Amino acid sequence: MSEVTELDQVAKFINGFAFKPIDWGSTGRKIIRIQNLTNPTKSYNRTTRVVPDKYIVRKGDILVSWSATLDVFEWVDEEEALLNQHIFKAELDDALIDRDYFKFALQFSIEKMTQFTHGSTMKHIVRKDFLKHKIPLPVLEEQKRIVGILTTANKLVQMRQQAIQSLDIHSRSVFLEMFGDPVSNPMNWDKKQLSEFGQIITGNTPSRANDNNYSSRHIEWIKTDNIKEDELYVTEATEFLSEEGLRSARYVTSGAVLIACIAGSANSIGRAAMTNRKVSFNQQINAIQPNDHVNPLFLYWLIKLSKSYILSHATSGMKKILTKGALQKVAMILPPIYLQNEFARKAEMTEQVKRKMLTQSSELETQFKALMQEVFIS
């Protein structure tokens, strides 16, 4: 049976420096913020401020974001950088723990601790709880054997996810080949306001004061969380309306396109998903129920590839909102229906393959999580 130890017994965790806006500039070393770890395309603030060496990050260093986004990263940049607050740098004891085993252990520990995180909207890990979290610590030779198994399983998951992404790229390429860029419109298609594409409906919330509105699972009540960037159809709702609730709700049938128009992040506005069933939805969503001149799958991809353009029609200010009135006035290309249908036929064939791959990916992820559980449950 493996020895069990606390995280702070195998590594020292250094919290980043609290840089202030006055420290930011365009020269000097990069400041690593959480957004730079989650999205490598995000630009870096730089600083010429001199800080203690413990805040310097070098290639290969393991970083843990412990606020808002909870995850483990490895710094792969050749350029030295500086660590911002809300990120730990882990300095591990190589004599006790293998680097890759340590990363897998951290990933599992964070996932387990997520259920105990603090904060309703901005999740964060309490340092003392994190440091005292226990992990199995077999001998180094056994750690390396475990790493080999977990790495193989994880690569299978990643390869399947990459294959799924390639299918989306294929559908995107087919769309652009047939219709060109939908915003710049190099093929000079007729453009119509979205109000001419079909009926636009803003969702709502039946009264919470009447418990009967939510007393049974008669119909799903969709929220923006059910509109995923990489999924064609809205996911299953976590909340439902009764028959009575539906009478005061707004709904669409299969073949509608739901668009997130109010969201916590501006980047989420314009995110779209189709319906393959009758659903109701809340006021953060505008839906388009296409008319006979618009193919639903064509409309979905049109919205998906025009997201930035659609976002430009949202209100300015701290919290962007895409109102029904603004959405109705967005002018989009509208090629002949027979070409829309031709594209939809090709895209649906790709979606069928993607659905099979998503099922396989889910199974692989379940197997990987089971392996992680078997290894790290002490």
pLDDT tens per residue across span 88-136: 999 999 999 999 999 999 999 888 877 655 544 446 678 888 888 899 9
Q: Do residues 291 and 212 share a domain?
A: yes
Range of the domain at 148: 139-168+339-378
Radius of gyration of the chain (CA): 25
DSSP secondary structure code for residue 269 in this structure: T
Q: How many domains does the chain have?
A: 3
Q: Do residues 157 and 202 share a domain?
A: no
Q: Do residues 13 and 107 share a domain?
A: yes
Question: Coil, strand or helix: which one is 231?
Answer: coil
The answer to whether residue 38 is domain-embedded is yes
The answer to whether residue 174 is domain-embedded is no
Cβ neighbours, 10 Å, residue 145: 14
Q: Interhelix angle for 99-113 vs 337-376, to 10°?
A: 100
Read off the tokens for 108.
């599992």
Read off the tokens for 87.
């990120």
Which pTM was predicted?
0.76
Closest CA to 153 of 377, 378, 376, 366: 366
Cα separation, 241 vs 206, in Å, equals 9
Q: Do residues 320 and 355 share a domain?
A: no
- Tell me which of 302, 317, 334 is where a domain ends: 334
Q: Do residues 214 and 288 share a domain?
A: yes
CATH number of residue 9's parent domain = 3.90.220.20
Q: Can you give the length of the chain in residues?
A: 378
pLDDT tens for each residue of 253-297: 999 999 999 876 667 889 999 999 999 999 999 999 999 999 999
Q: Do residues 41 and 87 share a domain?
A: yes
pLDDT tens for each residue of 184-238: 999 999 999 999 999 999 999 999 999 999 999 999 999 999 999 888 999 999 9
Read off the tokens for 187.
């093929």
The answer to whether residue 178 is domain-embedded is no
Query: Distances in Å between the alpha carbon of 307 and those of 60, 259, 269, 361?
Result: 36, 10, 8, 27
pLDDT tens for each residue of 96-105: 999 999 999 9
The answer to whether residue 181 is domain-embedded is no
Q: Interhelix angle for 296-304 vs 140-179, to 10°?
A: 110
